[in-house]
Amino acid sequence: MQRNSIGVGIALGIVLLVASAGAVAAFGGTNAPAATQTTPENSTAAADTVERTIHVTATGDAEAAPDQAVVRVTVRSEANDVGTVRDELATGSAELTAALDELGVEYETTSYRISEQYQRKNAPNPQYEGAHSYEITADDPDLAGAVADAAAGAGAEIDSVSLTLSEETRAELREEAIRNAMDDASQQASVIADEGGLEITAPSNVDASQRSYRPVPYERAQAGDDGGAPPTEIAAGAVTVSYDVDVTYTAVRE
């Protein structure tokens, strides 16, 4: 009887040990980290959040009627002595400025020089030459022709005549040209994004530069049938400002 009791005790001990080991294994298993599984849905979601860029270049134009005339003229003289050149420049300049004062326009000296000329053996020149250059500004573009005629009448050479814009009007036109360029850039980027299945978030970089500024050029009217020279006329037209922009937009998958 005693031998049977010992056998039963050993059997019970083995059962308890096995049960305890199972309990420990089960308890430890509850704390083990679960394996992360990558699914096609997760990969697509991650790709959708990646930022992409769209780069476009666009041009914007703006134009307006000129509100200012700028005329550049030069009084010239040649002689074999400096004193004569200086006196002739002074006389010509006095006649010019008197005519300009009658028109009520603004003017300023842009350069004044007297220099010795290069002498050719077969065709000698007067030893000295002088030039007094002016820039004349008229707030009324219609005065451009009258200014040119007054300068020519005083013996000055017409270097250039243009119908342009005042600084205030030019600034307004520049802003309009930039806005038009940015609108064009936005439209281009939207088309590219739609075709590529993207959604634009915001511009990340913008570079702007003036492409051109085109005042109205000078044109002199042809002489009439009687051979007389008619008053100088300036071609009518609009002053145009063009701006280029380079814009980079950020975009994500729709």
pLDDT of residue 47: 53
Tokens of 111: 């350069």
Q: Name the superfamily (CATH) of residues 68-164.
A: Protein of unknown function (DUF541), domain 2 (3.30.70.2970)
Distant-in-sequence, close-in-space partners of 35: CB < 8 Å, separation ≥ 6 = none
Q: Is 155 left (phi over 0), alpha (psi -120 to 50) or beta?
A: left
Q: Which of 223, 94, 211 is nearest to 86 (CA)?
A: 94
- Which pLDDT band, with edges at 50, 70 and 90, does 20 fall under? very low
Asked whether the predicted pLDDT for residue 163 surpasses 50, the reply is yes
Between 137 and 127, the higher pLDDT residue: 137
Between 205 and 32, the higher pLDDT residue: 205
Buried (b) or exposed (e) across 72-97, using 16+ Cβ within 10 A? bbbbbbebeeeeebbebbeebbebbb
Q: Which of 12-26, 111-125, 214-228 has the highest mean pLDDT?
A: 111-125
Q: Name the superfamily (CATH) of residues 52-64+168-224+233-253.
A: Protein of unknown function (DUF541), domain 1 (3.30.110.170)
Cross-strand partners of 246: 57, 207
All CATH 3.30.70.2970 domain ranges in the chain, comma separated: 68-164
- Give the whole-angstrom CA distance, residue 179 versus residue 61: 9
CA distances for 121 relative to 4, 8, 56, 118, 145, angstroms: 149, 143, 61, 10, 41
In sequence order, what E strands does 48-127 have?
Answer: 52-64, 68-79, 106-116
**204: enclosing H helix or E strand:** strand 198-214
Average pLDDT over residues 94-119: 95
pLDDT of residue 22: 45
Map residue 221 onto helix, strand or coil: coil
- Which pLDDT band, with edges at 50, 70 and 90, does 89 fall under? very high
Portion of the chain with pLDDT greater than 70, in percent = 73
**249: enclosing H helix or E strand:** strand 239-253
Judge whether 77 and 88 are in contact, CB under 8 Å: yes
pLDDT of residue 229: 60
- Give the whole-angstrom CA distance, residue 190 versus residue 186: 6
Q: Provide the mean pLDDT of the chain.
A: 81
pLDDT of residue 227: 46
All CATH 3.30.110.170 domain ranges in the chain, comma separated: 52-64+168-224+233-253
